[in-house]
Amino acid sequence: MTLIQSKPMHRLSVGSIFVFVGFLAVFAFRYVQVRNFTPFVPQSSSFALSPPSQAISGTLTQSTGIVEQFTREADDYQEATPDGIIRQGESIATKRGTARITLENAGIVTLGNTSEISFVSLIPSALMLLQKSGSITYEVNSSSPFSIRALRALVTLNGDATLAIDNTNIIFRVTKGTSKLALIDEENSTKVWNVVAGQTARVTN
């Protein structure tokens, strides 16, 4: 009886050893995994578009009162810096003040009181400005015209002019050179007028 019982006990102990060794191997493998594990840590990132390399820039050469600038990196208007640089896609607004911006080899933009403008494109061959409010004077001193969008009107200016927005009305006065004033009506059709030095165009709704 003793010999018959001893054989199963011997086989059982060998099996237990194999199980124990297997457990140790798995434990050791998981321990190595944990020690070599590098936890994922989210990294902060930012995304910003730079102006095209061929785009020019403007300089705030003169300002009075409160003048603010909406830069490409900001979420809202901030106080403008005298002699600060204005890049494509940025905006300038005056609050109880005036501002004069010199565009590199292109011309001068002078904002009157409570005026706002966005420099949509500062590529010399396709210069586009968006006047949002107020009275602004434009002086073009290059062969490339200024394209100025204001409400429903689009102006192509070769010379000097002042454009004023009064609620939903526009007053456009040319003091030098020539310009074209295009207007999109309620039926989505476009009409174009030539406006020369000494003439004033009034667009009313």
**pLDDT tens digits for 44-103?**
545 455 667 789 999 999 999 999 999 999 999 999 999 999 999 999 999 989 999 999
Q: Report the C-alpha gap between 92 and 100 in whole angstroms.
A: 10
Per this entry, what is the length of the chain?
A: 205
Residue 172 has pLDDT above 60, yes or no: yes
Residue 72 phi, psi dihedral angles, 5° rounding: -70, -25
**In the chain, count of helices (H) and strands (E)?**
1, 12
**DSSP track, 123-161:** -GGG-EEEEEEEEEEEEE-SSSPEEEEETTEEEEEEEEE
Look up the pTM and report it. Answer: 0.75
pLDDT confidence of residue 24: 60
Give the C-alpha separation, 21 to 40, whole Å: 33
Q: Is the pLDDT of residue 165 over 80?
A: yes
What would the pLDDT profile of 14-53 be if each residue is shown by its tens digit? 555 555 556 565 556 565 555 555 555 555 545 455 667 7
**What backbone torsions phi and psi does residue 40 show, to the nearest 5 degrees?**
-80, 125
Which pair of tokens denotes residue 49? Answer: 């578009």
- 20 vs 166, higher pLDDT: 166
Q: Is the pLDDT of residue 193 over 90?
A: yes
Specify the pLDDT at position 4: 39
pLDDT of residue 53: 78
CB 97, CB 79: distance < 8 Å: no
Q: Within a 10 A sphere around the Cβ of 130, how many other Cβ atoms?
A: 15
Q: What is the pLDDT of residue 49?
A: 58
